[in-house]
Structure 1
Amino acid sequence: MSDDIASILKDAEKKMAKSVEVTKEEFTSIRTGRANAAMFQGITVEYYGAPTPLNQLASLQFPEARTVIVTPYDKTATAAVETALRESDLGVNPTNNGDNLRIVLPALTEERRKEYVKLARTKAEDGRVSVRGTRGNAKKALEKLVKDKLVGEDEGVRSEKDLDALTKKYVEQVDQALAAKETELETI
């Protein structure tokens, strides 16, 4: 196998692995019955006129499975943090205790669980599309090598089979992550 083919396949594999990783990260932002720090990842707070990520303004503690205590580092930011949490897509209503905010996550209804499963499936499909897009780009590069007569046709066909095997491997990883997330969402 020529160095060009090896580098194309290696690059494609790296990009496919990154696509799977991003998809798994997306799954962590989908709420399940348990509280976790990833749920608060995308929340920004208007702090002195600048949008600031919540994790830079406050600490998060999880004393119970569905309870979160948010303690702002700067007490003057408590109202802004409370507003950001209320307006987030988490559907929570924090209780202000003066020093910190207490959030009790409501139990997920059957309808809400189904919505989250649909969301997970959408994110998984985005991951699969990304993996297939990487495959398409790598396939074009391999076809160009054959067309420019830098490698033989047999070697080109063999390398495309290797590329298809890689694609299958990473699409299966996305599917496995989706199955795990669906199980997690459907478990009460």
Structure 2
Amino acid sequence: MDIQSLFTQEEERMNKAISSFKLDLASIRTGRASTTLLDRVSVEYYGIPTPIKQVANVSAPEPRLITIVPWEKNMLAPIEKAILKSDLGLNPNNDGTMIRLEIPQLTEERRKDLSKKVNKHAEEARVVIRNIRRDANESIKKLEKKRDITEDDSKEAQTNIQKLTDKKIKEIDEMKAKKEKEVMEV
């Protein structure tokens, strides 16, 4: 394996970690209704766990309301159960044809809890990025030890991996700050 393919592989792993972080942030609710809240909620559909968006039409017609209209009426109860089991803290209203999720105004205490949750997810993402950096540096050192690359190439590759790590961590910090601002907004 050469340095460039190693670098590309590690950058791909870091991008996947950031994508996962974005999903984590999307599942944290703010004061406004967003259909992304339900991205991580799955429902049993013919024995297979399936995202709600694949068995129903999900929309946010108002700032504090999400509506879920299942394509099959028999899916109303399982969707309602899945939402209740999720950690979203929402109570679904089932009227026989659709489910309405009213997004309550967040209290100051709840906003602080959600902000802590955002920080926790951000730190987990940073740790993943740092672990990827560590793995990359170990691989570079192994290449140097086997004399596949020179010491100068090794130092340069490690510097480039560090620059990439700094860039990705900065990206995570920016997303965290943006989400915290959304959460704390009244």
TM-score grouping bracket, smaller chain normalisation: over 0.9
C-alpha separation in 2, matches of 1:47 and 1:152:
56
Q: 1:93 to 1:142 in 2, by over 3 A?
A: same
Pairwise CA RMSD: 1.6
Given that 2:43 and 2:49 are in contact with CA atoms closer than 8 Å, whether structure 1 keeps it comes out as yes
- Deviations along 1:51-72, one digit per CA (max 9) or x if unpaired, are 4332222111211011011111
2:122 alignment partner in structure 1: 124
AA in 1 matched with 2:159: K
Deviation at 1:49, TM superposition (A): 4.9
C-alpha separation in 2, matches of 1:156 and 1:80:
55
C-alpha separation in 2, matches of 1:78 and 1:116:
29
Given that 2:35 and 2:66 are in contact with CA atoms closer than 8 Å, whether structure 1 keeps it comes out as no
Is 2:174 aligned against 1:176?
yes
Secondary structure of residue in 2 paired with 1:14: helix
| Off by >3 Å, runs of 4+ in structure 1 | 46-52
Q: TM-score, normalised by structure 1?
A: 0.91
Secondary structure of residue in 1 paired with 2:147: coil
Deviation at 1:48, TM superposition (A): 5.0
Secondary structure of residue in 1 paired with 2:43: strand
AA in 1 matched with 2:170: E
Unmatched segments (≥5 aa) in structure 2: none
Secondary structure of residue in 2 paired with 1:150: coil
Q: TM-score, normalised by structure 2?
A: 0.92
1:9 alignment partner in structure 2: 7
Q: 1:83 to 1:152 in 2, by over 3 A?
A: closer
Is 2:80 aligned against 1:70?
no
AA in 2 matched with 1:77: M
C-alpha separation in 1, matches of 2:106 and 2:91:
15
1:18 alignment partner in structure 2: 16
